[in-house]
């Protein structure tokens, strides 16, 4: 095959796949500004005729989800209230864990690290009922605080893994010198380790934010009504689709629900890939 | 610098410097370990008891396990998981590798293609499932579009077809995960020794031969990692199915995670649900243990070669 034809074939295949990946996003974006009648008359794939900009306001503040007619707004804010603290807490504690595991070796540290890593693989179903008991005993059932607790503790497995694997590559001589100078645990963390950390902390924050924002199972199990995060609200909303199809508003809801993590990906895509490789390869 | 603050007695400070880090180090480490061990142990234990709606710690032996293994829904869920898992993993690996190899041909707009292939990983399974649910719905999705264009005989109704609905999960799953496979493979391709490639070029080896003899063997370890990650994804699949088909039509797309949830929270059969969860963990172990051994073996091989 001539070289130019080969190049052409490469681009054709790449463009076809690009189309496959783009279709769902484009469809949701277009439908979010289409009227439900328009969608029902044609299909979910089509150009808005006419543009219906009212979907967003409707879906945000007055759409009815399981008898609450406040739109997706409360659920969206629940997700924000849950994701931001849980991301910050799990990242900070994970950095601390990674630091003590990687640089303050103690007897059995490999065992501790091994057990924490197992947490990454443990299926959610093994932890569901124990969490029910913990949340009930703490009185955190059906609260955002309960979900923050869950995501912080479970996030520790990932964040510790990321940070520990990053910190082991800090040259020991650097720490030895600091220790000879009389620096202690916190001074070394604050003055040496933390300034070296931004690359891994960005990866960890992005990873945690995306994971927690997108999580569904815990949200739906441990909260009800308008205490639920946005993922659970989306499912509740689709469940009503057969009774009262309102595709325009639903597409707007899906777009709004996906927007935060899409934005994170758009601005931090580089770190995203690095996180995937760091988490998987090490 | 610190010595100037002589107000603090040195002995006390030394004591404090030893104790305080211990107080800070241990709680998060203990929590991170304890929840893994304690939660697993608790679920395993409950799976051997007579718990129903509430924990009941009387011993039940293996009864819950035999009951679950004989349960038709659970069997069906595993059959579905097997079909889904095999197709999902094979297709994702193939698409991921194909895209990585194509992108590696010094194409223009590499960054744009990469970003487009990878963005689904940032989207939740709930969103993916919902949107693909619309596209694959015969009355409003792709089938409707093609009918409106004039080809009225066109059929693409897998979503409502008991025998084919599982393939819809595969499509959505591959859409979500193949970019991830592509990114890891691409990182692998980029790490291949440039000298080796040059040597192959000088020898006049064809592109295909170079890939087969030089490139693919080098990315073997990455291939193993991606394989294990994807198998793990497949076994844990839950949200995607809930959002796309809710396990239907009938039970045709139900998976073990859905059955477990059903037993634990809808039927109030804690012990049986826990037994099913433990079996799910064992399925994961079947995938992860060989990989762990492979890693061990490789590290040892590397050590031998290095020594």
Cα–Cα distance measured from residue A89 to residue A82, given in angstroms and rounded to the nearest whole number: 11
Q: Percentage of residues in chain A with pLDDT exceeding 90?
A: 50
Name the pLDDT band for B262 (thresholds 50, 70, 90).
very high
What contacts B292, CB < 8 A, 6 or more positions away?
none
Cα–Cα distance measured from residue B104 to residue A185, given in angstroms and rounded to the nearest whole number: 45
Domain boundaries, chain B: 2-46, 65-306
- Residue A88 vs residues A83, B24, B177: alpha-carbon distances, Å: 9, 17, 27
**pLDDT at residue B96 is higher than 90:** yes
Indicate the average pLDDT of chain B.
89
What residue of B is the nearest CA neighbor of A104? B25
User: 70-129 in A: which are within 8 Å (CB) of B?
Assistant: 93-94, 96-97, 100-101, 104, 112, 115-116, 118-119, 121-129
List of long-range contacts for B40-43, beta carbons under 8 Å, 24+ apart? B40/A122, B40/A126, B40/B281, B42/A129, B42/A130, B43/A126, B43/A127, B43/A129, B43/A130, B43/B274, B43/B277, B43/B278
Tell me the per-residue pLDDT of A178-213, one tens digit each, with 9 for 90 and over: 888 888 888 888 888 999 898 889 989 998 999 999
Give residue B193's pLDDT: 80
- The neighbouring-strand residues paired with A243 are none
User: 278-297 in B: which are within 8 Å (CB) of A?
Assistant: 278, 280-281, 284, 288
**How many Å lie between the alpha carbon of B185 and the closest alpha carbon of chain A?**
10
Chain A CB within 8 Å of residue B60 CB: no
Give residue A272's pLDDT: 72
Q: Of A93, A247, A276, which is closest to B183 when you measure between CB atoms? A: A276
Q: Of A94, A216, A269, which is closest to B125 when you measure between CB atoms? A: A216
Q: What phi and psi values does residue A29 have, to the nearest 5 degrees?
A: -65, -45
Give residue A276's pLDDT: 66
Verify whether the Cβ–Cβ distance B32 to A157 is below 8 Å: yes
What contacts A137, CB < 8 A, 6 or more positions away?
none
ipTM summary value:
0.91
Give residue B302's pLDDT: 81
Burial of B8 (0-12, 13-18, 19+ CB in 10 A): exposed
Verify whether the Cβ–Cβ distance B127 to A21 is below 8 Å: no
Tell me the per-residue pLDDT of B206-219, one tens digit each, with 9 for 90 and over: 888 888 888 888 88
Coil vs helix vs strand at B18: helix
Q: Of A17, A121, A280, which is closest to B225 when you measure between CB atoms? A: A280
Chain A CB within 8 Å of residue B242 CB: yes
Cβ-contact B76, A162 below 8 angstroms: no
What contacts B235, CB < 8 A, 6 or more positions away?
A123, B81, B85, B256, B280, B283, B284, B287
**How many Å lie between the alpha carbon of B196 and the closest alpha carbon of chain A?**
22
| Chain B residues whose beta carbon lies within 8 Å of the beta carbon of residue A217 | 238-239, 261
Query: Averaged over B255-272, what is the pLDDT?
Result: 94
| Chain B residues whose beta carbon lies within 8 Å of the beta carbon of residue A7 | 105
| R_g of chain B computed on alpha carbons | 26
Q: Which of A72-86, A119-133, A261-275, B35-49 has the lowest mean pLDDT?
A: A261-275
Q: What is the pTM of this model?
A: 0.91
The per-residue DSSP string of chain A comes to --HHHHHHHHHHHHHHHHHHHHHHHHHHHHHTTS-HHHHHHS-SSS--SS--THHHHHHHHT--BTTB-STTHHHHHHHHHHHHHHHHHHHHHHHHHHHHHHHS--TTHHHHHHHHHHHHHS-GGGTHHHHHHHHHHHT-TTSHHHHHHHHHHHHHHHHHHHHHHHHTTS-HHHHHHHHHTT--HHHHIIIIIHHH-HHHHHHHHHHHHHHHHH--HHHHHH--GGGS-HHHHHHHHHHTTTTS--HHHHHHHHHHHHHHHHHHHHHHHHHHHHHHHHHHH-
Q: Would you tell me how many other CB atoms lie within 10 Å of the CB of residue B164? A: 14
Which of the listed CATH numbers 3.40.50.1820, 1.10.3720.10, 3.90.1150.10, 3.20.20.70 matches domain B65-306? Answer: 1.10.3720.10
Helix spans in chain B (H): 10-46, 63-70, 72-103, 110-118, 125-136, 142-148, 165-190, 194-202, 207-210, 216-218, 220-236, 239-244, 256-261, 270-306
| R_g of chain A computed on alpha carbons | 23
Give residue B307's pLDDT: 59
> Tell me, what DSSP letter sits at residue B8?
S
Chain A CB within 8 Å of residue B8 CB: no
Tell me the per-residue pLDDT of A103-134, one tens digit each, with 9 for 90 and over: 887 888 889 999 998 898 899 999 999 999 99
Tell me the per-residue pLDDT of B77-90, one tens digit each, with 9 for 90 and over: 999 999 999 999 99
Verify whether the Cβ–Cβ distance B187 to A221 is below 8 Å: no
Verify whether the Cβ–Cβ distance A44 to B102 is below 8 Å: no
Preferred mutation among A7, A21, A94 to probe B, highest tally of B CBs within 10 A: A21
Name the pLDDT band for B1 (thresholds 50, 70, 90).
very low
Name the pLDDT band for B204 (thresholds 50, 70, 90).
confident
Q: Of B21, B123, B264, which is closest to A129 when you measure between CB atoms? A: B264
Q: Of A116, A217, A280, which is closest to B32 when you measure between CB atoms? A: A116
Chain A CB within 8 Å of residue B154 CB: no
Topology annotation, domain A74-247+260-281: MetI-like fold (1.10.3720)
Verify whether the Cβ–Cβ distance A119 to B232 is below 8 Å: no
User: 149-168 in A: which are within 8 Å (CB) of B?
Assistant: 153-154, 156-157, 160
Tell me the per-residue pLDDT of A216-245, one tens digit each, with 9 for 90 and over: 999 999 998 889 999 999 998 877 665 667
| Chain B residues whose beta carbon lies within 8 Å of the beta carbon of residue A158 | none
Name the pLDDT band for B2 (thresholds 50, 70, 90).
very low
| Chain B residues whose beta carbon lies within 8 Å of the beta carbon of residue A185 | 17, 20-21, 24-25
Q: Closest by alpha carbon to A51, among A42, A60, A38, A61?
A: A38
Cβ-contact A155, A90 below 8 angstroms: yes
Q: Of A21, A153, A156, which is closest to B117 when you measure between CB atoms? A: A21
Tell me the per-residue pLDDT of A18-52, one tens digit each, with 9 for 90 and over: 999 999 999 999 999 998 888 888 888 888 888 88
Chain A CB within 8 Å of residue B174 CB: no
> Tell me, what DSSP letter sits at residue B249?
S
Q: Of B17, B95, B116, which is closest to A184 when you measure between CB atoms? A: B17
Q: Which of B17-21, B108-112, B243-247, B297-301 has the lowest mean pLDDT?
A: B17-21
Chain B CB within 8 Å of residue A131 CB: yes
Cα–Cα distance measured from residue A116 to residue A80, given in angstroms and rounded to the nearest whole number: 27
Chain A CB within 8 Å of residue B265 CB: yes
Coil vs helix vs strand at B61: coil
pLDDT: which is higher, B182 or A172: B182
């Amino acid at each position: 095959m001539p070289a130019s034809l080969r190049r052409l074939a490469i681009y054709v295949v790449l463009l076809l796949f690009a189309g496959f990946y783009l279709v769902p996003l484009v469809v949701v974006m277009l439908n979010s500004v289409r009227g439900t009648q328009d969608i029902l008359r044609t299909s979910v794939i089509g150009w808005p005729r006419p543009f219906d900009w009212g979907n967003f306001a409707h879906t945000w503040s007055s759409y009815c989800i399981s008898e609450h007619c406040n739109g997706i707004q409360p659920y969206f804010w629940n997700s924000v209230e849950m994701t931001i603290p849980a991301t910050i807490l799990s990242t900070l504690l994970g950095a601390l864990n990674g630091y003590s595991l990687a640089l303050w070796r103690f007897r059995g540290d490999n065992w501790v690290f091994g057990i924490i890593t197992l947490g990454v693989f443990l299926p959610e179903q093994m932890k569901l009922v124990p969490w029910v008991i913990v949340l009930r005993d703490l009185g955190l059932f059906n609260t955002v605080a309960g979900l923050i607790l869950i995501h912080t503790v479970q996030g520790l497995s990932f964040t510790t893994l990321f940070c520990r694997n990053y910190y082991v590559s800090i040259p020991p001589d650097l720490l030895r010198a600091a220790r000879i100078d009389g620096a202690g645990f916190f001074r070394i963390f604050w003055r040496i380790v933390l300034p070296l950390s931004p690359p891994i902390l960005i990866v960890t924050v992005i990873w945690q934010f995306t994971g927690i924002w997108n999580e569904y199972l815990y949200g739906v199990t441990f909260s009800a009504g308008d205490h639920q995060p946005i993922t659970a609200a989306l499912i509740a909303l689709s469940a009503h689709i057969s009774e009262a199809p309102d595709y325009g508003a639903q597409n707007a809801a899906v777009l709004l629900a996906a927007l935060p993590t899409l934005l994170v990906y758009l601005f931090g895509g580089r770190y995203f890939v690095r996180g995937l490789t760091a988490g998987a390869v090490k | 610098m610190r010595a100037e603050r002589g107000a603090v007695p040195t002995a006390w400070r030394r004591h404090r410097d030893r104790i305080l880090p211990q107080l800070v180090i241990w709680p998060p480490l203990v929590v991170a370990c304890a929840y893994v061990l304690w939660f697993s142990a608790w679920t395993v234990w409950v799976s051997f008891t007579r718990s129903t709606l509430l924990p009941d710690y009387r011993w039940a032996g293996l009864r819950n396990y035999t009951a679950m293994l004989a349960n038709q829904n659970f069997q069906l869920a595993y059959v579905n998981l097997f079909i889904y898992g095999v197709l999902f993993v094979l297709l994702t690996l193939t698409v991921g590798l194909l895209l990585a190899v194509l992108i590696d041909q010094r194409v223009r707009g590499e960054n744009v293609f990469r970003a487009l292939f990878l963005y689904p990983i940032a989207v939740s399974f709930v969103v993916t499932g919902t949107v693909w649910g619309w596209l694959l719905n015969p009355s409003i999705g792709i089938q409707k579009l093609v009918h409106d264009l004039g080809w009225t005989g066109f059929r693409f109704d897998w979503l409502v077809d008991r025998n084919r609905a599982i393939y819809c999960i595969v499509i959505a799953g591959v859409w979500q995960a193949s970019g991830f496979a592509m990114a890891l493979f691409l990182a692998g391709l980029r790490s291949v020794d440039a000298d080796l490639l040059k040597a192959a070029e000088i020898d006049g080896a064809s592109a295909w031969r170079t890939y087969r003899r030089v490139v693919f063997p080098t990315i073997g370890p990455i291939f193993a990692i991606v394989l294990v990650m994807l198998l793990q994804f497949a076994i844990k699949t839950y949200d995607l199915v809930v959002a796309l088909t809710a396990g239907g039509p009938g039970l045709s797309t139900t998976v073990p995670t859905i059955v477990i949830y059903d037993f634990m929270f809808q039927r109030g059969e804690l012990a049986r649900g826990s037994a099913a969860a433990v079996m799910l963990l064992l399925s994961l172990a079947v995938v992860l243990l060989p990989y762990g051994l492979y890693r061990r073996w490789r590290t040892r091989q590397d050590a031998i070669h290095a020594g």
